[in-house]
Amino acid sequence: MNKSIFFVLFLIFNLSSSFIKNKAFDNKENLCGLEVADAYTQEVLGKNIGFYVKFYNNSDKIIDAIKYKVIFKNGFNEIKGSKVFIWQAGNLIGPMNSKSYLRDGSTNWIDGANKLEVKIIRVHFEDDSTCDLKS
């Protein structure tokens, strides 16, 4: 690809990309000791291309897996799509210690979505116990 074309595309992407902080989270009661501290959507040219979510482990246990649902909405709070995601500790990213934060995210392509709601479904702890929530 020609360097000038690449530069123009890179510039357009960066100028048109925006991060929107969301406030639609689960209630902080009875969530297996896990809270959604922050969530952001990323938009490019009116399309939601990804999201970032920041979890806080408020429990006294170490978390090694989280299953959560992201509901994508527009400005009128109409649902534009949803998807279930799983984060789990692995070789490069260790488990989530007590009283610590974890960032997760993913790419997606949802037309017309500029808000998101995060619902925690299931939490697995390093001691092999599990906490399930209604989704």
User: 3-class secondary structure for the chain?
Assistant: CCHHHHHHHHHHHHHHEEEEEECEECCCCCCCCEEEEEEEEEEECCEEEEEEEEEEECCCCCEEEEEEEEEEECCCCCEEEEEEEEEECCCCCCCECCCCEEEEEEEEEEECCCEEEEEEEEEEECCCCEEECCC
Query: What is the per-residue pLDDT for 7?
Result: 56
Query: Which CATH architecture is the domain 18-132 placed in?
Result: Sandwich (2.60)
For the chain, give every domain's residue range. Answer: 18-132
pTM of the model: 0.79
pLDDT tens digits, one per residue of 78-93:
999 999 999 999 988 8
